[in-house]
């Protein structure tokens, strides 16, 4: 009976999981900077979620539950490898036709580079808050730390990013301000 219940729960949640796969991939990629590894992490997280779908108590917390699984997969990977993740410089191969889109891509590249230079705990919190849009409480639940720790890590990450971005020496970035996201 339990197997049937698990299968029914997995089937009903399968479309929910597949709808969130790209978002899981983007967050995993922001952590590891490796397309293949990010794909593996997202796939493993979805596999574990489907396998344990019956354990989900409240469908309203599906996103936090999925990201907690993804975070656990990431921590397992780091523990098994026992090494720091290498950072790979990202290049956009698309041809930029307009000066405005070129400037926008320069800003995006600077932000990505700055985020890559953050220590992993700060990078994890800032990507969950600013890229995935989770609240402090949800982030605390996902990475299993107190809310105050999330707040202090996010503060330090944003302060570090602001300092790095302003240190690029561009007069254009002096007006650039990081916005606060809950």
Q: How many domains does the chain have?
A: 2
90 in a structural domain: no
Same-domain pairing of 107 and 74? no
Asked if residue 28 is part of any domain, the answer here is yes
Q: Indicate whether 54 pLDDT > 80.
A: no
Give me the chain's average pLDDT, please: 77
In this prediction, residue 150 has a pLDDT band, given cuts at 50, 70 and 90, of very high
Q: Do 24 and 66 form a contact (C-beta atoms < 8 A)?
A: yes
End residue of a domain, out of 81, 114, 138: 81
In angstroms, the CA 19 to CA 133 distance is 16
Query: pLDDT by residue (tens digit) across 90-104?
Result: 555 544 455 666 667
- Determine the average pLDDT of the residues in 141-157: 91
Between 81 and 162, where is the model more confident?
162
Q: What is the DSSP string of 46-73?
A: HHHHHHTGGG---GGGHHHHHHHHHHHH
75 and 7 in a common domain: yes
pLDDT above 70: residue 141:
yes
pLDDT at 173: 45
Check whether residue 67 and residue 119 sit in a common domain. Answer: no
- pLDDT of residue 84 exceeding 70: no
Query: What does the radius of gyration of the chain's CA atoms come to, in whole angstroms?
Result: 18
For the residues 4-25, what does the mean pLDDT come to? 72
CATH code for the domain of 131: 1.10.10.10
Q: For residues 125 and 102, what is the distance between their CA atoms, to the nearest angstrom?
A: 29
Task: List the CATH number of the domain containing 9.
Answer: 1.10.1740.10
Does residue 62 sit in the same domain as residue 118?
no
| CA-angle at 177, arms to 174 and 182, nearest 5° | 170
pTM to 2 decimal places: 0.58
Q: Which structural domain range is residue 123 located in? A: 99-174
pLDDT above 90 covers a percentage of the chain that reads: 15
H or E stretch including 105? helix 99-116
């Amino acid at each position: 009976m339990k197997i049937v219940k698990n299968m029914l729960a997995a089937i009903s949640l399968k479309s929910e999981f597949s709808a969130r796969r790209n978002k899981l991939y983007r967050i995993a990629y922001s952590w590891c900077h490796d397309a293949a590894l990010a794909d593996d992490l997202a796939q493993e997280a979805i596999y574990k979620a489907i396998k344990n779908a019956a354990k989900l108590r409240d469908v309203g917390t599906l996103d936090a539950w999925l990201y907690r699984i993804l975070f656990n997969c990431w921590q397992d990977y780091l523990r098994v490898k026992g090494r720091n993740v290498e950072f790979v410089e990202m290049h956009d191969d698309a041809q930029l036709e307009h000066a405005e889109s070129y400037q926008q891509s320069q800003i995006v590249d600077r932000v990505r580079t700055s985020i890559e230079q953050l220590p992993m705990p700060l990078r994890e919190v800032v990507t969950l808050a600013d890229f995935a849009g989770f609240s402090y409480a949800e982030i605390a639940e996902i990475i299993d730390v107190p809310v105050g720790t999330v707040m202090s890590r996010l503060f330090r990450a944003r302060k570090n990013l602001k300092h790095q971005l302003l240190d690029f020496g561009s007069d254009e970035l002096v007006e650039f301000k990081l916005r606060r996201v809950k």
